[in-house]
Amino acid sequence: MTARLDAPPPPVSASASSGAPVTTSYVPVRVMGDGTTAGSRAARRWRSARWPLAVLLLVAIVAGLAALSRPAVSSTPLAPDNAGPGGARALAQVLGDQGVTVEYVTATADAVSRARAGTTLLVTSDLNLLPEQVDALLATDADLVLLEPGYDLLEGATDLSATLGDDWSSPDALRTPECTDPDAVAAESIRSSGFGFTTTGPGSLVCFPGDDSPPDTGAYLVHEGDRRVVALDDAGLLSNARIDEDGNAALALRALGRHETLTWFVPDLLDTTSTGDPAVGAAVLPPWVAVVLVQLLVVALLAALWRGRRLGPLVTEDLPVVVRAAETTRGRGRLYRRSRSRGHAAAGLRAHSADRIASRLGLPRSAAAPALIDAIVRATHRPAEQVAHLLYGPPPADDAALLELARHLDQLESEVFHP
C-alpha cells in the first residue's frame, strides 16, 4: 500500500499544563522540480545579490551627498560663479549689489532669447562659435559687450567701422583714456595685453592706446549706432585676479551696469544651438553629472575585478594524437616544396645551423655575422668567403641546389662539432 504524499494527516490534539487543547495541522508546501522551494530560491538569490545591491546603494548615497554638498561654483574661465583667479564672481556680485540682474547662460539659443532691447549681452569669447551662432548674436537688440572678439563678431557688430588692431605695446605699461568716452574717462587707467582695435569708419571710438600703438588703435572700443557696442581686447581685466587693479573695476562696472538686466554668456564648447534651437550638449546637464559619472566608472571597474575570472595555473592536457617531430619536419618541407619556397627553406636551414654552431663555439645567439664567420674560420680553417656564402649567401635556384646547401651545412656543423 502506497501513501499519498499530498494528503494531510489528521489533526493531532494535545493537552497543555493548563488543560487547554492545542491543535497542529499539516500545511502543504509546494516543492519545485529541483527539490527547492520558492522561499529557498528567493533566499539564495538574495544572498548572491545583496553585496552588489549594497555597493550600488552606497554609491548612490555618496553621489547624492556629493551633489548636495557641492557648492554652486564652477571652474569655467570668466564665469560669474567661478571664485577662482580666472573667474569673474567678484564682478558679478558687485553688479548684483548695484541692482543688476545677472543671467548666466552657456548656450547660444538661451543668450539670444534673453538679449532683448534695454538689456546688456556680455560675450566672453567667440572662439568656438559657429558662423550661424555669431549671426544670431548680432541679430539681437541688446547692447553688446565683447571680450577679445574675432573679426566676424567685431566687424559685424560695428558695421565694418572697426577691426582688430596690431598693437605690440608693453602689457605692463599704464594706459590713459585719451578719448571722450565717459566710461573710459572714469576708469582713468588700465593695463592691457591685447592687440587692440582699429577704427576704419565713422561711429567707432577707441581709447587707451599704448606707447607704440598705431594710429586710431586702442585697447577699448565704443561703437554707437542702433545700440551701444563695447569691446575689450583683454578679457583678463574682468577676472577676479585683476578686477581690483588700476581702473579695471570702474570700466567693467560702467560697461556692464548700464541696464538692469545683464545676460552673461560663456559659450559651451559642445553647444551648437542658435536662434530657437533647444539647448544640447553639456549645457543641459546638471553640474553634479561629472562626479556621478566618475563614481560609476570606479564602481564598474571594481565590479569587473570582483566578478572577473582569475587565471589559474597552467594545466597540461594530453593530446588526442601524438605527432612525431620528424613527421612535422617532413610536412613543413612538403609545404615549402609545393609552394616552391626554396628561399624560406634555405633561410630556415641556415638560421638553425648558425644557432647550433654559435652555441657550440660559445657565442650568443645575437652575435653579428662577422663574429660568427671569424669563429667558424678559426674552428674549421675554411676560407671566410666560403663560410659566408654557406650561411648568408643567395637562395638556391632549384631543389638540387637546396639539397646541396643542406649537405654542405651538415658537413660544416660536423667540422665544428668534431674538428
The domain segmentation of the chain, as residue ranges, is 89-265, 338-417
- Count of other CB atoms within 10 angstroms of residue 108: 27
pLDDT value of residue 343: 85
- The alpha-helical segments, DSSP class H, found in 279-398 are 289-307, 325-338, 342-360, 369-380, 384-392
Q: Which residues of the chain have pLDDT under 50?
A: 1-35, 279
pLDDT of residue 155: 94
Report CA torsion sign: 180, 181, 185, 191.
negative
The total of other beta-carbon atoms located within 10 Å of residue 152's CB is 14
From 333, 363, 353, select the one nearest 411 (Cα to Cα).
353
Give the residues across from 264 on adjacent strands: 104, 122
**What is the distance between the alpha carbons of residues 152 and 154, in angstroms, rounded to a whole number?**
6
Whole-number Å distance between alpha carbons of 416 and 373: 12
C-alpha cell at position 71: 557648492
pLDDT value of position 288: 65
* pLDDT for 263: 96
User: Which triple of cell numbers denotes residue 361?
Assistant: 663555439
Decide: pTM greater than 0.85: no
The pLDDT, as a whole number, for residue 13 is 41
The domain at 89-265 falls in which architecture? 3-Layer(aba) Sandwich (3.40)
* Predicted local confidence at residue 108, as pLDDT: 92
Query: Residue 331's pLDDT is what?
Result: 82
